[in-house]
Amino acid sequence: MSVTDLATREELERPGQAKIIFFPYGKREWFAKGEVSVLEAAQAQGIDLSSLCNGKGTCGKCKVKIEKGLETLGPLTPQELRHITEEEMKANYRLACQIRPPASIVVYVPERSRVGKQRLQTEGLEVPVKTLNPFVKKFFIEMSKPTLHDHKSDEDRLLDTLLKGHCVPANLEFDFDLSLDLATTLRNANWRVTAVTWKDKLIDVEPGNTTDRCFGFAVDIGTTKLAGFLMDLNTGKVVSVAARMNPQIPLGEEVMSRITHQMMKGWAGVEELQKAVVSGINEMIEECCQKANVKTNEIYELCFVGNTAMQLCFLGIYGRHVAFSPYPPVLRRGVNVRASKLGLKSHPRANTYYVPVIGGFVGADSVADLMAVRMLESDEMIMDIDIGTNTEIAVGNKDSVLMDSCASGPAFEGMQIKHGMRAATGSIERISIDPETLEVNYRVIEDKPPVGLCGSALVDVPAELLKSGVIDLKGKFVAEMAEKTNRVRKGPEGWEFVVAWQKETATDTDIVITQGDVRELQKAKAAMRTGSEILMKRMGVTEDDITKLYMAGAFGNYIDPENARTIGMYPEVPLDKVVFVGNTAGTGSRMCLISKEEREYAENLSTKVKYLELAADPDFQTEYLDALYFPHKNLDKYPDTVELLRRLGRIK
């Protein structure tokens, strides 16, 4: 049922009242004509619609698309003119707090105006696999007892019955460990057992019929966060989920420092890192099993994705040479190794599969990401950005895909920012500055008095400072602004902007953003922007050719795509082409766990995708220097943003 169908079939006229219909939720309600704003209507119905300024028209976050009834709403208010771009006006966008419908209308709340997606950490696209086909298979068999006339060995009896009754490889191999108490097991089970196979190996013989109990565990090893998914291999569905901070962090904040730990401490260091990450993974396994009432030895296979450094540290491979130019991985192909060898809590003969990597530090998580968004199947040109401790960017389609990795640095994790912090209770996660009054609105995680600024707020900060004229396109504080507001002042380290006054904060100080902080953020976003620019150059395309921009990774879910674009974090692609896909690395890991075909797809993908070593590219330096400007030195690349800044008086 389309939007227009709905609007024509239902009752839309009532004296003195207007009906406001919200999509995609489908909720609708009657309100007094011309008296209730769309924002108030949303709040009254508990509909997820973002607002930082609570309806004053200063934050610009409550943008909605008017599907029906735009003509009844009247012209844009001055507040709307400050926030809505020309492109959005053409697409019928308005600020929900500024419109009080005098007649029934249909409103669509776009993803970026919702708060809900903020909490997604482990969730990513649910992509159906082509065939549910795990490597682990269970078969129930009933054997006849040995007799004087039939005195086959237990081994032959088992394998013959299995081969006769089921489709198993003819060369099925018996794992030696099984033979130790095979005889007892078979007799205690009265010759009715479940054979568990993995590929062409028989890995267990379980008494009775346990075919309905077959589980696997998929993991995304992030540099900072681990995500784990317990899956039912019979249905291919997720049974429970867990997440942990990566326990390797104390041994190295980012990938290079972890490899350095291996170098400094030798094999002891390698072992330390390996054990650390496994301890986090085992905790997730236990948590998931407990939640789902599953025993850890019912997990017969585990699948892992992570960047190349995570691959090395997890598998216990010495990675020194990967850390030096030209950064060749040690292993590219998928790796199969006994889970017990790695110390993982699962069935004693469970297999571990590590998905193939691409090149340099672009690893299995990127393979998984591209699998989930099906880039190799697309006719159209796609860009995929996975923002994390490292940012991986891919540009391409079914003909070819080029990929690079940008060391964006830890600025968006809050490091090297005066009042920066990792996202946690008390972090300011979003901020807006009124371009006229320069007053600040912000939202804190868990609504507590603020302690600092986390990554998503640090994307808002330069955008809001730019839009309100506090900083110029070069990123420099504009001294004259100190006369307009006492939030702009000279602090001990130079110019700074007060985000929160001491009396509002949980700390003993004002929370500020300094000139130095802005410089750090410029460098971080310039690295990412250079990553996408060089890829487009080498692929021979421009932003106009990009039909979809996938933002992957948990962080991508939290940021304001418009502000990220305004500061020039990614090319100026229309915002309705930006799709948030969440933790696609997790998606790909799950797909590989439950399907042989997806593993083959992953192996193929890892050879097809070409890796570009960014820092070695001859244009890197010039592009990087141009990308330091907000949004970019070359303003032709950002016509929509320039138009908005011009309207705000920031550009002549």
Site residues (vs other proteins, CB under 8 A): 256-257, 259-260, 263, 320, 323-325, 474-476, 494, 515-516, 519, 522-523, 615-616, 621, 624-626, 628-629, 633
User: Cβ of residue 533: shortest distance to other proteins, in angstroms?
Assistant: 15
For helices 584-594 and 596-608, what crossing angle results, to 10°? 130
Nearer to other proteins, 341 or 476 (CB): 476
Nearer to other proteins, 216 or 316 (CB): 316
Which sign, positive or negative, has the C-alpha torsion 556, 557, 559, 560?
positive
The pairing of beta strand 215-221 with beta strand 225-232: antiparallel
User: Cβ of residue 256: shortest distance to other proteins, in angstroms?
Assistant: 5
CA distance 576 to 560: 13
CA distance 136 to 138: 7
CA distance 591 to 307: 17
Nearer to other proteins, 369 or 626 (CB): 626
Whether residue 431 contacts residue 442, with contact meaning beta carbons closer than 8 Å, is answered with yes
Nearer to other proteins, 434 or 626 (CB): 626
3-state secondary structure 235-269: CCEEEEEEEEECCCHHHCCCHHHHHHHHHHHHHHH
CA distance 87 to 107: 18
Closest CA to 427 of 558, 280, 251: 558
User: Cβ of residue 458: shortest distance to other proteins, in angstroms?
Assistant: 17
Q: How far is CA 284 from CA 136, 199, 287, 342, 590, in A?
A: 21, 26, 5, 15, 15
Q: Is the peptide bond before 326 cis (omega within 30 degrees of 0)?
A: yes
Radius of gyration of the chain (CA): 28
User: Cβ of residue 419: shortest distance to other proteins, in angstroms?
Assistant: 17
Nearer to other proteins, 87 or 472 (CB): 472
Nearer to other proteins, 615 or 648 (CB): 615
Nearer to other proteins, 330 or 541 (CB): 330
Nearer to other proteins, 31 or 497 (CB): 497
Q: 156, exposed or middle or buried, with CB in 10 Å at 0-12, 13-18, 19+?
A: exposed
**Residue located via tokens 């839309």:** 12
User: Cβ of residue 613: shortest distance to other proteins, in angstroms?
Assistant: 8
User: Cβ of residue 314: shortest distance to other proteins, in angstroms?
Assistant: 18
User: Cβ of residue 300: shortest distance to other proteins, in angstroms?
Assistant: 37
User: Cβ of residue 524: shortest distance to other proteins, in angstroms?
Assistant: 13
Nearer to other proteins, 80 or 617 (CB): 617
Which sign, positive or negative, has the C-alpha torsion 29, 30, 31, 36?
positive
Q: What is the DSSP string of 411-440?
A: GGGTTTSTTB--S-TTEEEEEEE-TTT--E
Whether residue 408 contacts residue 524, with contact meaning beta carbons closer than 8 Å, is answered with yes
Cross-strand pairs, 218: 229, 303
CA distance 443 to 420: 15
User: Cβ of residue 104: shortest distance to other proteins, in angstroms?
Assistant: 53
User: Cβ of residue 363: shortest distance to other proteins, in angstroms?
Assistant: 17
User: Cβ of residue 384: shortest distance to other proteins, in angstroms?
Assistant: 25
E strand or H helix at 225, and its extent? strand 225-232
Nearer to other proteins, 448 or 474 (CB): 474
User: Cβ of residue 518: shortest distance to other proteins, in angstroms?
Assistant: 8
Whether residue 334 contacts residue 599, with contact meaning beta carbons closer than 8 Å, is answered with yes
User: Cβ of residue 514: shortest distance to other proteins, in angstroms?
Assistant: 8
Q: How far, rounded to the nearest angstrom, does the alpha carbon of residue 293 sit from its chain's CA centroid?
A: 28
Nearer to other proteins, 568 or 582 (CB): 568
Neighbours of 646 (CB within 10 A): 12
Nearer to other proteins, 193 or 628 (CB): 628
**Residue located via tokens 């953020």:** 521
**Residue located via tokens 């966008």:** 93
Residues 6+ apart with CB under 8 A from 355: 303, 304, 305, 334, 364, 367, 368, 588, 589, 592, 599, 602
User: Cβ of residue 406: shortest distance to other proteins, in angstroms?
Assistant: 12
Nearer to other proteins, 139 or 629 (CB): 629
Nearer to other proteins, 127 or 330 (CB): 330
CA distance 115 to 108: 15
Whether residue 288 contacts residue 227, with contact meaning beta carbons closer than 8 Å, is answered with no
CA distance 407 to 634: 23
